[in-house]
Amino acid sequence: MHIAEGFLPVVHCVAWYAVSTPFVIRGARKVIQEAKEHPESRLLLAAAGAFTFVLSSIKLPSVTGSSSHPTGTGLGAVLFRPPVMAFLSTIVLIFQALLLAHGGITTLGANVFSMGIAGPWVGYWFWKLSSRLGWHRNVGVFLALAFADLSTYLVTSVQLGLAFPDPVSGLAGSVAKFMGVFVISQIPLAIAEGILGVLVFRLLTDVAKPELERLGILRPVVKEAVA
């Protein structure tokens, strides 16, 4: 999902910066607010950011013979709502753009939009949908992480399609072409990310139960009075 440095026309770079900036500013405010008002959730906040940091650094093989990397943004979106992830993803993407020449500063706005805004929101909607349907929370976590991952790559395909419409088949053909590069490769990775997310979430429900109850992720168990 990292659009390489210089690989979007200037107008597109500026436009994606303009779209993403307010989300990132709001996310930064939310992170500061959360850390100030609820110091007890700082460790969870760090865990959510670190999870994205680790997952986006790992390139994994896929059935298509390409390799790609997960995004890890769904977990933080479920725990702290999506705005926080816009800010945390931006930190990850700046690190990768400057130190690894992966992604870029000119394409940062577009990459933040796909990984830090679209992905987390889609994942969060799946989490909400799942809990509304009364499904087990682990199912919700699986869906949130898998779809945050997959939708990030769908958005990247659209972004590249918009920038480089195919001379013959136009915009739709171009989007389909980039989806061919990204999406099928990403499906097994998204499933794996969902499973890994469930593993981490089960660990968190063991060690961070009161924090998760305060965030409304776990319903507090009402202890029955001893007769």
Partner 1 sequence: MSRKTWTTIALIAALVLIFGISFVVGGLHTDPYERFAGTDSVATSTIQESNPDYQPWFEPFFQPESGEVESGLFALQAALGGTVLGFAIGGLWGRRRSERSPATAEPNGPAPEPAT
**CB of 89: closest distance to partner 1 in angstroms?**
13
Rounded Cα distance between 221 and 223, Å, is 6
Q: By CB under 8 A, is residue 32 in contact with partner 1?
A: no
Axis crossing angle, helix 42-55 with helix 83-99, rounded to the nearest 10:
50
Q: By CB under 8 A, is residue 204 in contact with partner 1?
A: yes
**CB of 151: closest distance to partner 1 in angstroms?**
15
Residues 158-197 touching partner 1, rule: CB under 8 A, are 160, 164, 166-167, 174, 177-178, 181-182, 185-186, 188, 191-192, 195-196
DSSP letter assigned to residue 224:
P
Under 8 Å between Cβ of 86 and 19: no
Among 25, 43, 171, 172, contact with partner 1 (rule: CB under 8 A): 43
Under 8 Å between Cβ of 185 and 68: yes
Among 64, 176, 214, 215, contact with partner 1 (rule: CB under 8 A): 64
Rounded Cα distance between 155 and 18, Å, is 17
DSSP letter assigned to residue 166:
B
Identity of residue 85:
M
Judged by CB under 8 A, the number of residues near partner 1 is: 76
Axis crossing angle, helix 170-207 with helix 42-55, rounded to the nearest 10:
140
Span interacting with partner 1, options 5-13, 79-87, 121-129, 144-152, rule CB under 8 A: 5-13
Residues 91-150 touching partner 1, rule: CB under 8 A, are 95-106
Q: By CB under 8 A, is residue 77 in contact with partner 1?
A: no
Please identify, using beta-carbon distances, which residue of 33 and 128 lies nearer to partner 1: 33
